[in-house]
Each structure stands twice: as structure tokens, then as C-alpha cells.
Amino acid sequence: MSHCCPNSNEVRRLQTHDQTFQSTRTEVRVCRMRHIRTLLFAGMNTDQCLMATLQDAHSRDPNTIVLRDACATDSPGYAQQSAEFNCCINWGFLTSCKALATAAGIV
């Protein structure tokens, strides 16, 4: 998991609402000002808060990538599977921390 830790110059947001982008426009401005085109998603409640934020972010044009092994939920297993399925079909990409680190040349 250490391969997925953000660098000190990368933007990190602590999500305090069910949809980070809906709760404030700051994130949208930061992304546009810094020319951020890809957002990585990790966190709890994959099928609820994380997917709500991912859908909202995806509708604002950046590429969205969910790091499957950096997400979890306390919902039944099918909820996680459904969220991952919908991510692949509708709202971006699904990968693992290791695959991302390998593609980025970190490992």
C-alpha cells in the first residue's frame, strides 16, 4: 500500500460528506488550476460515499481511477462487486495499487 501514498505536492482531500465535489467547488477549482486530469479514489464505503464522489467527479471531465485494494465497505459483498462493475462500465477505470505503481515505474 505504501506505493500509493501521495507525494507532498499532490492534492489530498478528506471527504466529510457523501460527495466531496458536491459539497464544495474548491476541489473543482483546484483541479482546473493545477491541470489535474486524473483522480485516484481510495477509501471506505466504496458503494456509497466513494462511488457518489466518483460519479460526481467523472461528470466534471477528469479521468477517474478506483484503486480496488485501497477501498472497502461494510455492506454485503455484492455491493462492492456492483460498485466495481459500474466503475468499469460507466465511470472510469478500476485497478490495484500494485498495478498502478508498476505502470508508473515505482516498483
Coil, strand or helix: which one is 39? strand
Instruction: Count CB atoms within 10 A of the CB of residue 94.
Output: 20
Q: Which three cell numbers stand for residue 107?
A: 516498483
CA distance 56 to 41: 12
The architecture in CATH of the region 38-107 reads 3-Layer(aba) Sandwich (3.40)
Q: What is the 3-state secondary structure (H, E, C) of 31-98?
A: HHHCCCCEEEEEEECHHHHHHHHHHHHHCCCCEEEEEEEEEECCCCHHHHHHHHHHHHHHCCEEECHH
Q: What's at 37, amino acid-wise?
A: R
Q: Which three cell numbers stand for residue 33?
A: 488550476
Q: For residue range 68-91, what is the model confidence (pLDDT) as tens digits?
A: 999 999 999 899 999 999 988 988
- For position 36, what pLDDT does the model report? 83
More confident residue, 19 or 61: 61
Q: What is the average pLDDT score of the chain?
A: 81
Q: For residue range 17-57, what is the model confidence (pLDDT) as tens digits?
A: 566 665 556 666 777 788 888 888 988 888 988 888 888 88
Pair 41, 67: CB distance under 8 Å: yes
- For position 68, what pLDDT does the model report? 94
- What residues does each domain of the chain span? 38-107
Coil, strand or helix: which one is 86? helix
pTM of the model: 0.75
pLDDT-derived band at 106 (thresholds 50, 70, 90) equals confident
Q: For residue range 27-38, what is the model confidence (pLDDT) as tens digits?
A: 667 777 888 888
- For position 24, what pLDDT does the model report? 57
Q: Which three cell numbers stand for residue 15?
A: 471527504
